[in-house]
Structure 1
Amino acid sequence: MSEKSVNSKRTGLIYGACLFALAVTYGIMGSRIDYAFASDPLGPRVVPVILAGFLALLCLFYFKNPGEAEGFPKGKTLARVLAVPCTLVIAVLLLETTGFLLAVFLIVTVIAVLFGAPWKYALAGGASQALLWWFVFSYLLEVYLPKGIIFG
């Protein structure tokens, strides 16, 4: 077996282990969802737990047959790959303070720039996406969205 093939299989196993950890975490968090039993006998727990179980089964299959996988990114590509989840985490942490509109604006704008969009298009896309999703959730679906502490 060549060195590249061994590294590819190792990379696939690492990806599979990360996804398996995600599946277990998602299943645990989904099983902790509180709900009123009178509203629905199955409740909102069922879908996350089933999805977590399905992902865990796929990960176990992947461990047995990892196949060929791309190598880990390096340099600027690695920085961009890591910047996406970091941006999402920062936006979620700022959600209560900044509100839904600014959090979505931040996510879309930063990710657009990471994928090579010019700043003016990234800002326009961030603003339009934030307004679109705010309208969809607030008016069409009537879901409460946090306005943020800075907006009262």
Structure 2
Amino acid sequence: MSDGMSSSAWAGRIGGVCLLLLALAYGIGGSQIEYAFASDPLGPRVMPVLLAVLLAVLCLVYLIRPGVSERFPRGRLLARVLAVPTLLVGSVLLLEPAGFAISIFVLAAGVGWIFGAPFRLAIAGAFGQALLWWFVFSYLLDVYLPVGHLFG
């Protein structure tokens, strides 16, 4: 970098800015929690807002003094790094129309393939993960899981 800042310092600061934005979103979301006034003296908002403030303070410290970190990824590694959150967002968007099982299957298969599993093993592992988590949430924890518009 021409201004004397190393590539690893930039990578650390980019991570700090991303976490700071996450802290802001988490704090705003936590402050929007509705609750009955008589339920608790502090209410359910306090914990998420305090965590958001703590994360924001730590991010600001990290932005001022980023320390040593890895170089920012490039090329194929950058594509793999960006593919995982993209796949996560895609699977969340699939949750309502396709249901929990298909969404988890797509997520697990994609992550397995991104991390180097052969395609057949990624598919087999994703099938096992989808069955496992469906069983755990539906039968052991008795949590409602969306079946999706395609199957429901």
Normalised-by-shorter TM-score class: 0.7 to 0.9
- Partners of 2:10 and 2:72 within 8 A in 1: no
| Partner of residue 105, structure 1 | 105
- How far apart are 1:44 and its partner, in Å? 5.0
- Tell me the TM-score normalised to structure 2 length: 0.86
Q: How does 1:34-45 map to 2 (within 5 A)?
A: 34-35=34-35, 37=36, 41=40, 44-45=44-45
- Partners of 2:7 and 2:72 within 8 A in 1: no
| Partner of residue 57, structure 2 | 57
- Partners of 1:5 and 1:68 within 8 A in 2: no
Distance 1:38 1:5, change over 3 A: closer
| Partner of residue 19, structure 2 | 19
- Partners of 2:24 and 2:52 within 8 A in 1: yes
Distance 1:44 1:148, change over 3 A: farther
Structure 2: segments with no counterpart, 5+ residues: none
Structure 1: segments with no counterpart, 5+ residues: none
Give the superposed CA RMSD.
2.3
- Tell me the TM-score normalised to structure 1 length: 0.86
Distance 1:72 1:90, change over 3 A: same
Aligned-partner Cα distance in 1 for 2:3–2:37: 58
Aligned-partner Cα distance in 1 for 2:150–2:104: 16
Aligned-partner Cα distance in 1 for 2:108–2:119: 11
Q: How does 1:3-152 map to 2 (within 5 A)?
A: 6-35=6-35, 37=36, 41=40, 44-152=44-152
Structure 1 letter corresponding to 2:9: K
Report the secondary structure of 1:151's partner residue: coil
**Equivalent residue pairs, number:** 150
Report the secondary structure of 2:6's partner residue: helix
Aligned-partner Cα distance in 1 for 2:78–2:127: 27
Distance 1:81 1:144, change over 3 A: same
Identity of aligned residues (%): 55
Aligned-partner Cα distance in 1 for 2:75–2:49: 37
